[in-house]
A and B are shown apart, each in its own frame.
Chain A
Amino acid sequence: MSKKILFISRRSPYGLSYARDALDALLAASVYDQDIGILFMDDGVFQLLKQQDSSNIAQKNLAAILPALELYEIKKIYVQRESLEARRLGASDLVLDDLHIIDNEEVRQLLAQQDQLLSF
């Protein structure tokens, strides 16, 4: 029986490698036939920005990697509404279209449904 596993990504896209490391782990996990999802919250929502240019800091552009989630058939992509609002961001700022923007109460319910949480 497959387990419900949620990745939680809370860090800004650059500066530390956590954002990349979370995505690497998520993409690796996606091939194991489990019920996988990812939740972006806090500064993690900055990872989803359309307008990213990391060329001056010698890092790969995260916005170029994120569309791979679709190729890997990761459909459960959640973004915490309050984290977006606190940063004056909206759905139109984000690089992925197929997102579920959920509020705090829905986040609480989502976490409660999971078998495992992997926090980054």
Chain B
Amino acid sequence: MIFSLAVYAAPSVQASDSAYRFATALLAQGYTLYRVFFYIDGVHHGNEFITPPQDEINLSTRWQQLAQTHDVDLVICIASALRRGILDETEAERYEKSGYNLAPGFTIGGLGQLLDAAVTSDRLITFGS
């Protein structure tokens, strides 16, 4: 069974943690996680500049490790990301910004990739709606 997740919740919201736990649980069961699509406030997960205190969990790092281990596609919605100041090198150049902050392991993509996840997966689970 192929799963994808849509995460609308910012890292500070419980639903964000629930999404991660759901992802690890389904992978542990042997299911496939095709894509995690971060939309609306969920795009904050892709901000490399987020710096929580050392005794707190860094959610971006957790997702990166999961993606590396299990080859999961982590996609940040471009429309939501630009509104919230999350840019990769290409977008930073396009909009003449002084820097970029997309965390390694995440890619910036369009809403078509949310639909593609819905079409390709048997289950699409939303967190933070």
Chain A interfacial positions (CB closer than 8 Å to B): 3, 5, 10, 17-18, 21, 24-25, 28-29, 31-32, 34, 115-120
Contact = CB atoms under 8 A, between A and B. Distances in A.
Q: Which secondary structure dominates chain A's binding surface?
A: mixed
B66 interface: no
Given A17-B40, A120-B129, A25 B124 contact: no
B128 to A, nearest CB: 10
A25 B111 contact: yes
A32 B114 CA distance: 11
Contact of B40 (A21, A29, A116): A21
B129 A3 contact: no
B119 A25 contact: no
B6 interface: yes
Contacts of B119: 3, 5, 32, 34, 116
Given A18-B129, A118-B126, A120-B129, A32 B40 contact: no
A22 to B, nearest CB: 9
Interface string B109-122: 01110111011010
